[in-house]
Amino acid sequence: MEYLDLSNNQRTGAIPETLSELQNLRYLNLSGNNLIGSVPEALKKRVLDNTLIMSLTGNTNLCGVDPCLRKKKQKNILVPVVASVSGFFVVLFGALAIVWLIKRKRIAGSSESMLRLKNRPFTYGEVSRITGNFRQVIGEGGFGKVYLGTLENGTEVAVKMLSKSSKQGYKEFQAEDQLLMIIHHGNLVSLFGYCDDSRHMALIYEYMANGNLRQHLSEDHLKVLTWSRRLQIAVDIMISGLDYLHNGCKPLGPPIIHRDLKTTNILLNEDFRAKIANFGLSRAFATENDSYVSTCPAGTPSYLDPE
């Protein structure tokens, strides 16, 4: 594992010492949580050795020194602590700035170069095998049909195949895998891999057992969503998922606007936790000052703002 993003997940407790044992780990993002205690010495040493880039911002109860000292004693050691912590964060923010520039460049780069970094490439033969020769269709959209698949380790996945008659086409295929290479969050559907052999293109996602939100709001659905679940879905999407796209991506890249948020693009896992899917029409803003006005509107009729 080279890249681990656990940011904005309301995680608590101390940072596990075992993270320092991941020898191939190059980037660790723990920002925006409720962590406590001290940063393990082994992790701090790797940061100082420039073998690890680590982000801890937003953890107000996390101590930058070890052992943690109580606030009432901090006055006596304020100067050395500020000096050491400041030096640590100068190195950290400098490294994060380099990572941000690299990620920003990758958004404009080719899909192939980005996928090599993180996502596993699948051959068409592998895609056919994990789907049982495309036996079970579990969905269909503008991109094409979605099939149920199972990886070698038993993990169920959803395989979205690009249809030759798709109006969305390769441009959206490329946009989606580019964005999902960079963004990782508990309320965004995860991308396991891709297939691109020119004739057959597919994206392999985590499987969401309870389908999309529209199915559960239909009058024909047997089970009615309780109000508590409806509120939880709203929180998952608005406060967690969209807030991450608009604000939480900034350490790694520019803000992202989904542009096609609707009930069919909100998927539910086995616990009815909601995740945003289908990023083919999303747009990344290079800077916060970029205009939101577009002369080529994108989205779905009746979901677009009238303006």
pLDDT score at 108: 37
| pLDDT value, residue 59 | 85
Rounded Cα gap, residues 84 and 70, in angstroms: 17
Label residue 19 by pLDDT band (50, 70, 90): confident
Which DSSP state fits 71?
Answer: G
Average pLDDT for the chain: 78
**pLDDT for the residue 29:** 85
Residue 187: both structure tokens together: 């309320």
Residue 167 and residue 160 in contact, taking contact as beta carbons nearer than 8 Å: no
Residue 112: C-alpha distances to residues 28, 119, 193, 249 (Å): 24, 10, 12, 22
**CA distances (Å), origin 20, targets 94, 143, 244:** 21, 41, 26
Q: Which of 5, 196, 260, 290 is catalytic?
A: 260
Q: What is the pLDDT of residue 151?
A: 93
Q: Please say whether the beta carbons of 278 and 265 come within 8 A.
A: yes
Does the pLDDT value for residue 267 go beyond 90? yes
Q: Which amino acid, one-letter code, is at 136?
A: Q
Domain ranges of the chain: 3-108, 111-284
Domain 111-284 annotated CATH 1.10.10.10: no
**Does residue 243 have an active-site annotation?**
no
Task: Check residue 69 and give its pLDDT.
Answer: 47
Whether 176 shows a pLDDT value over 80: the answer reads no
Contact residues for 24 (Cβ-Cβ < 8 A; gap 6+) = 1, 2
Angle between helices 78-108 and 169-182 (to 10 degrees): 170
Collapsing DSSP states into helix, strand and coil, what is residue 286? coil
